[in-house]
Homo-oligomer: A and B are copies of this chain.
Amino acid sequence: MARIPAPERREALIDAALRVVARDGISHATTRAIVAEAGMSLASFHYAFASRDELIDELIRTVVERAENEVVPSLDPHLSVRERIEAGLLRYFGHLKARPSHEQAMLELTWYALRAPERHPLAVSQYARYREFAMAALQRATTDSGITWTLPLDQVAQVLVALTDGLTTTWLVDRDDEAALRYIGIAADTLSRLADAR
């Protein structure tokens, strides 16, 4: 095996771990499974990480950092705020359909973190990050429209996160595209009603 400095190995192991979690679920993300995915030996694992828990914690932190803003509303000036929001939600839905196992992995990591009290803050910061993304998306949706929100932006963002969560969970279970599209339309209505022309 090629000799790889520890920091790079940590990255490679985290990447491998995410692939394993997405493919097989976190319960199958054993040290051996992760090491096999990364093409390493067990010794290399424990040379880079003190324990499996340390890797999983680092994995959660990493996916939270890496998470991209998938809900990017359209900026087309011809569109209404509602249409911009709907465009953003549709973009997220496209991403969800393209990589369902990735979103499922993210949620599994949330539940995993939620089970151990000392890991709870990881889940909280994960959702704080989602809220940031939501805020940015909402701000973008009202840019150059002369429209403001009837609630503080972070509160609207909280609603958007919850709406997105509901979409993700129910679609992952039912895989009902038509229901998802209906829901997106209704969610866009709901959010745009929280915006008010001055």
Q: Given known contacts A165-B165, A186-B194, is B170 in contact with A155 (CB within 8 Å)?
A: no
Question: Once the chains bind, are A167 and B162 in contact (CB under 8 Å)?
Answer: yes
**Among A5-13, A40-48, A62-70, A107-115, the stretch in contact with B:** A107-115
- Copy tally for this chain in the complex stands at 2
CB-based contact A186/B179 at 8 Å: no
Q: Which residues of chain B are within 8 angstroms of A166 by Cβ–Cβ distance?
A: 161-167, 169
Asked whether A49 is an interface residue with its Cβ less than 8 Å from the other chain, the reply is: no
A124 vs B179: C-alpha distance when bound (angstroms)? 14
Would you call A189 an interface residue if the criterion is a C-beta within 8 Å of the partner chain's C-beta atoms? yes
Chain A, 130-189, CB within 8 A of any chain B CB: 151, 155, 158-159, 161-167, 169-170, 172-174, 176, 179, 182-183, 186, 189
Asked if A55 lies at the interface with its beta carbon under 8 angstroms from chain B, I say no
Within 8 A of B (CB), among A109-125: 110-111, 114-115, 123-124
Interface membership of chain A positions 66-91, coded 1 if the CB is closer than 8 angstroms to chain B and 0 otherwise: 00000000000000000000000000
A170→B167 CA distance, assembly (Å): 13
The 8 closest A-B pairs by CB, nearest first: A166-B166, A162-B166, A25-B115, A165-B166, A162-B170, A190-B190, A165-B169, A127-B173
A/B interface sample: 10 pairs, CB < 8 A: A27-B115, A104-B111, A104-B114, A127-B174, A158-B170, A158-B182, A162-B167, A162-B170, A163-B163, A166-B169
Give chain A's interface residues, CB within 8 Å of chain B. Answer: 24-25, 27, 104, 107-108, 110-111, 114-115, 123-124, 126-127, 151, 155, 158-159, 161-167, 169-170, 172-174, 176, 179, 182-183, 186, 189-190, 193-194
